[in-house]
Amino acid sequence: MTSLALRQDGPGTVTVPGPRRRLVGLVAALLVLLVVLVLSVMIGSTAISPSVVWDALFHPSPDIDQFAIRDYRVPRTIVGLVVGVALGLSGALIQALTRNPLADAGILGVHAGASFAVTVAVGVLGVSDIRGYMWFAFAGALIVTLMVLALGSTRQGQSPVVMVLAGVCIGAVLGGVREALQLTNPDAFDAMRSWNAGSVVGRPLDLVWPILPFLAVALVLAFAVSGPLNALALGDELAVAQGVRLVPTRVLSVIALTLLAGGATAIAGPIVFVGLMVPHVARWIAGPHQRWIFAHSILLAPSLLLASDILGRVVMRPREIPVGVVTAFVGAPVLIALVRRKTASGL
Amino acid sequence: MNRKKRTPMTMTPLRRRGGALVAVLLSTTLVLSACGGGGEDSGNSAGATRTITADNGTIEIPADPQRVVALGNTSQPFIDIGGKPIGVTELSASELDPIPAEQKATFAAATNLGADTAEVDLEKLAGMKPDLILVQVPDSEFEGIEKELEAIAPTVFWGLDTEWKTFADALAEAGNLTDALSEQKTAFEEKVAKIKETHREVIADTSFVAVDRWDNADPGTFVITDFGCIEIAADDIGLNSPKAAEGDDPLGWTDLPFEQIAQLSKYDAILYPVDAEGQPKKAFAPVVESNTWKALPAVGSGRALGVFCPGNNSYGPVLKYLDSLDSALASLPAKG
């Protein structure tokens, strides 16, 4: 999602949920996630009985259906969990950083950088396996976001507005070059279809483990800047008055969200709607406190992603719909309903 | 096999149009001027002609064309029946690799006119003064260059849904190569009869399924296919293998997640793609390496048969496929 619509504070009154509601919300989100995790292992494009699923997990044997559970559904579920956590938290971070409720990591050029790098890897360098081009995606996302950070740095420090503009501009340029490369190399376009749509199918776990340390660092950074981001929501001057150091806060936030979104995009491709929508739901439940928003987003985003993936497995059996497509279908109406209903989704 | 080649009747490439408009606009003037300069160099002005019917209507062509340009999917089948085109569009590595060395040499000797028909160098093509142009590309792609090609030389076009035997007959007729084709057809009929006779019981009693994985397949997916070489095995040999219902998309168009490899358990035997050395095709290797594949009863009992399919759009590659299928069926263990 690449929107420039920056939020203007309105005169509306926002009811801030109390600690009890936040805690209940968090526990409920955790329960929902656990249920979705179980369903993700239970439900697939092939009907496999719950007893076989149980045996596959706790009494493993070389049964063909058990292999299907252990080799495909479990890794797919873990991938969805990791990608969902990363997307949800990155979305909450970018919205807090830019004070833009319609922002996701895409506006800083993460998706554009990743997609461009993958196109070069596939179309120019002949990398055909996701194990190879995943790292190009990660590097592309990081490099482009660092460029955006540099371009967004003025003498007065980092400006979210300039960063967003720089991200959109670089994204547009890279998007154009990427399109040109794909038009002149249809095979590259073919090879990237699945990645472009956003999918968690066929991503082996050994592809995910190397990304996890980056995500862990980003997780720590995100919670470290959550307090300063609360103050930033009041405006730069008030934040500075409260002792917030603007530059480190923004730089660390950008690094964290880039690692998160870059890692998720590298694994699953550009899934745009999760990071946009989930923080709204999180704010509705948890109120304006970033730490709580982050915590809720971390639990809600993988639930949305995995629920969408489950839906994608069954609605057109035997073929599957990529999760990126389903999240857009599921997420758009939900987001519209939420935005129309609650002022609490504002920042 | 590349994903872009999937069609119900053939595995021929769906050529793309990208860049065609620019090439056409730049070239049209030169092409028309080349053709408007008089007929003395047309390469066929004095020869006898005959008419041929193809997907672009009835065309008057030289009785014995000598300067043939083969565009799109026509080059390999034309060379396969003994044709020596003077100009061709490129073939992918996966299309070029399996063809015999002498045919590769013929292909290499022809002038390269571009990556595909949509991007064919019309100026160069006109300069070669062909007396016949053969084209097999998607209909929409041909429509974009039809007038330009016909302005250069008589042009014979077939769509991608042309059945391969019909296509071979038509190519041979157009290129005046029916004698060479006749030998191939005889060899094909004899081979088919031999396989049917040799493996009569296996063919009658065995349920087969043909699986594949396209070069650009999504990670973690494969297909059950009902077109390409398996279509020949089913239609000509009589192998019992799954086929899409009438009116439905071919089975091979649907990517199936690896989870559904287990569904192959219900078949007696599995046909999977291998290269000329008998190793699983590179794109298919992830399937063979999966635990679910290894756990299939057919795999465990040696009833998963690797079959080499170098192509299915002309008799030469098809004969090689039949040799491979013959050997595979001969190696099939009895049902347990």
Alpha-carbon gap, residue A245 to A227, rounded angstroms: 11
Is the predicted pLDDT of residue A146 greater than 90, yes or no? no
Partners of residue A153 on adjacent β-strands: A158
CB contact under 8 A, A46 and B218: no
Answer whether B263 touches A (CB < 8 Å): yes
Name the β-bridge partners of A285: none
Residues B158 and B142: their CA atoms lie apart, in Å, by 9
A-contacting residues in B 16-55 (Cβ below 8 Å): 16, 18-19
**Pairing status of strand B68-72 against strand B57-62:** unpaired
Q: Which of A120-134, B172-186, B306-320 has the lowest mean pLDDT?
A: A120-134
What is the distance between the alpha carbons of residues B329 and B307, in angstroms, rounded to a whole number? 10
Listed as own residue / partner, the contacts of A62-70 with beta carbons closer than 8 Å and 24 or more positions apart are A62/B291, A62/B295, A63/B295, A64/B261, A64/B262, A64/B265, A64/B292, A64/B295, A64/B296, A65/B262, A67/B262, A67/B290, A67/B291, A67/B292, A67/B295, A68/A44, A68/B258, A68/B259, A68/B261, A68/B262, A68/B292, A69/A41, A70/B291
B266 touches chain A (CB under 8 A): no
SS3 A156: coil
Q: Greatest CA span in chain A, whole angstroms?
A: 64
Token reading at B325: 């299928």
Any A CB within 8 A of B295 CB: yes
Q: Write out the two tokens for B23.
A: 């090439």
With tokens 């002022």, the residue in question is A343
Q: State how far residue B12 is from chain A, nearest Cα, in angstroms.
A: 15
d(CA A35, CA A12): 36
Instruction: Residue B2: list chain A partners with CB under 8 A.
Output: 187, 190
What pLDDT digit, counting tens, does each position of A113-138 carry? 888 888 888 878 877 777 777 888 88
More confident residue, B82 or A233: B82
Of A204 and B11, which is predicted with more confidence?
A204
According to the 3-state scheme, what is the secondary structure of chain B?
CCHHHCCCCCCCCCCCCCCHHHHHHHHHHHHHHHHCCCCCCCCCCCCCEEEEEECCEEEEEECCCCCEEEEECCHHHHHHCCCCCCEECCCCHHHHCCCCHHHHHHHHHCEECCCCHHHCCHHHHHHCCCCEEEEECCHHHHHHHHHHHHHHCCEEEECCCCCHHHHHHHHHHHHCCHHHHHHHHHHHHHHHHHHHHHCHHHHHHCEEEEEECCCCCCCCEEEECCCCHHHHHHHHHCCECCCCCCCCCCHHHCCEEHHHHHHHHHCCEEEEEECCCCCECHHHHHHHCCHHHHCCHHHHCCCEEEEECCCCCCHHHHHHHHHHHHHHHHCCCCCC
Query: Scanning every residue of chain B, which has its alpha carbon at the shortest distance from the alpha carbon of A186?
Result: B16
How is residue A17 annotated by DSSP? P
- B159-179 burial, b for 16+ CB within 10 Å, e for fewer? bbebebbebbebbbbbbbbee
Residue of B nearest to A122 (CA): B216
B contacts of A133 (beta carbons < 8 Å) = none
Q: How far is CA A214 from the centre of its chain?
A: 14
Domains of chain B from N-terminus onward = 3-176 (3.40.50.1980), 183-330 (3.40.50.1980)
Q: Do B291 and A67 touch (CB under 8 A)?
A: yes
Q: Are the Cβ atoms of B257 and A201 closer than 8 angstroms?
A: yes
8 Å CB contact between A251 and A260: no
Name the residue in chain B with its Cα closest to that of A189: B216
DSSP secondary structure string for all residues of A125-154 = S---SHHHHHHHHHHHHHHHHHHHHHHTEE
- pLDDT above 50 for A154: yes
- The total of other beta-carbon atoms located within 10 Å of residue A16's CB is 11
In eight-state DSSP terms, residue A10 is -
Q: Where residue B22 falls among pLDDT bands split at 50, 70, 90? A: very low
With an 8 Å Cβ cutoff, is B300 touching chain A? no
**Confidence check: pLDDT of B6 > 80:** no
Segment A241-254 shows an average pLDDT of 86
Q: Which of A214-218, A276-280, B176-180, B309-313 has the highest mean pLDDT?
A: A214-218
Cis peptide before B130 (omega within 30 of 0): no
Residue of A98, A77, A81, A79 lying closest to A7 (CA atoms): A98
pLDDT at position B233 is 93
Mean pLDDT score of chain B? 85
Q: Are B64 and B47 in contact (CB under 8 A)?
A: yes
- pLDDT value at residue A17: 73
Q: Which site among A134, A201, A208, A310 would you substitute to test the B interface, given the most B Cβ atoms closer than 10 Å to its Cβ?
A: A201
Interchain CB contact of B243 with A (< 8 Å): no
Give yes or no for a contact between A113 and A10, defined as CB atoms under 8 angstroms apart. no
User: Using CA atoms, how far apart are residues A263 and A192, in angstroms rounded to an integer?
Assistant: 17
Token couple for B94 = 């996966």
Among the residue ranges A177-186, B36-45, B270-279, the one predicted with the least confidence is B36-45
| B155-158 vs B132-136, strand pairing mode | parallel
Q: Compute the average pLDDT of residues B195-221.
A: 92
Distance from CA of B287 to the nearest CA of A (A): 11
Residue B109 has a CB neighbour count (10 Å cut-off) of 11
Tell whether the model's pLDDT for residue A346 goes beyond 70.
no
CA distance B50 to chain A (A): 39
Distance from CA of A55 to the nearest CA of B (A): 16
DSSP state of A155: T
Residues of A in contact with B261 (CB under 8 A): 64, 68
The per-residue pLDDT for B18 is 41
Backbone CA torsion sign across B309, B310, B313, B315 = negative
Q: Which residue has the tokens 């990363």?
A: A86
Q: Between A126 and B160, whose confidence is greater?
A: B160
Percent of chain B with pLDDT over 90: 67
At residue A14, the pLDDT reads: 55
Select from A29, A131, A145, A33 the least CA-distant residue to A82. Answer: A33
In Å, how far are A45, A68, A70, A91 from A60, measured between CA atoms?
21, 12, 9, 38
Q: Map out the domains of chain A with their CATH numbers.
A: 19-33+78-345 (1.10.3470.10)
Contact between B225 and B7 (Cβ < 8 Å): no
Question: What is the reported pTM?
Answer: 0.80
Nearest CB to B295 within list A67, A72, A191: A67
Whether A121 contacts A198, CB under 8 Å: no
Q: Coil, strand or helix: which one is A158?
A: strand
Considering only the beta carbons, identify the residue of B18, B19, B259 that sits closest to A45. Answer: B259
* Residue numbers in B near A70 (CB within 8 A): 291
What Cα–Cα distance (Å) separates residue A321 from each residue in A75, A172, B3, B254?
18, 27, 18, 11
Give the model confidence (pLDDT) of B234-288 as tens digits: 999 999 999 998 888 889 888 899 999 999 999 999 999 999 899 999 889 999 9
> What average pLDDT does the structure give for chain A?
84
Q: State what percent of residues in chain A have pLDDT above 90.
A: 34
CA distance B111 to chain A (A): 21
C-alpha–C-alpha distance, residues A212 and A227, integer Å: 24
- Name, in order, each residue with C-beta under 8 angstroms of A16's C-beta and a sequence gap of 6 or more: A287, A288
CB pairs < 8 Å spanning A and B: 88
Are B119 and B18 a contacting pair, CB within 8 Å? yes
Amino acid in position A301: A
Give residue A99's pLDDT.
80
Q: Is the pLDDT of residue A205 over 70?
A: yes
The predicted pLDDT at position B279 comes to 94
Q: What is the pLDDT of residue A233?
A: 82
Minimum Cα–Cα distance from B289: chain A residue: A71
User: Which one of A45, A186, A318 has the shortest CB-CB distance to B18?
Assistant: A186
pLDDT on residue A206: 85
Partners of A68 on chain B (C-beta within 8 Å) are 258-259, 261-262, 292
- Amino acid code (one letter) for A100: N
Does B264 contact chain A (CB < 8 Å)?
Answer: no
| Selection from B286, B331, B277 nearest residue B304 by Cα | B331
Whole-angstrom Cα distance, residue B122 to residue A159?
53
Candidate from A71, A194, A319 with C-beta closest to B292: A71
Task: Identify the pLDDT of residue A342.
Answer: 54
Query: pLDDT digits over A47-56, tens only?
Result: 899 999 999 9
Q: What is the pLDDT of residues A86-109, one digit of tens each?
A: 999 999 998 888 887 777 777 778
In this prediction, residue A247 carries a pLDDT of 84
CB atoms within 10 A of CB B21: 12
The verdict on a CB contact (< 8 Å) between B216 and A64 is no
Cβ partners under 8 Å of residue B325, min gap 6: B195, B229, B233, B237, B271, B307
How remote is the C-alpha of A76 from its chain's centroid? Answer: 16
pLDDT of B39 higher than 50: no
Question: In which element (H, E) is residue A157 found?
Answer: strand A157-158
Structural tokens at position B263: 């569904």
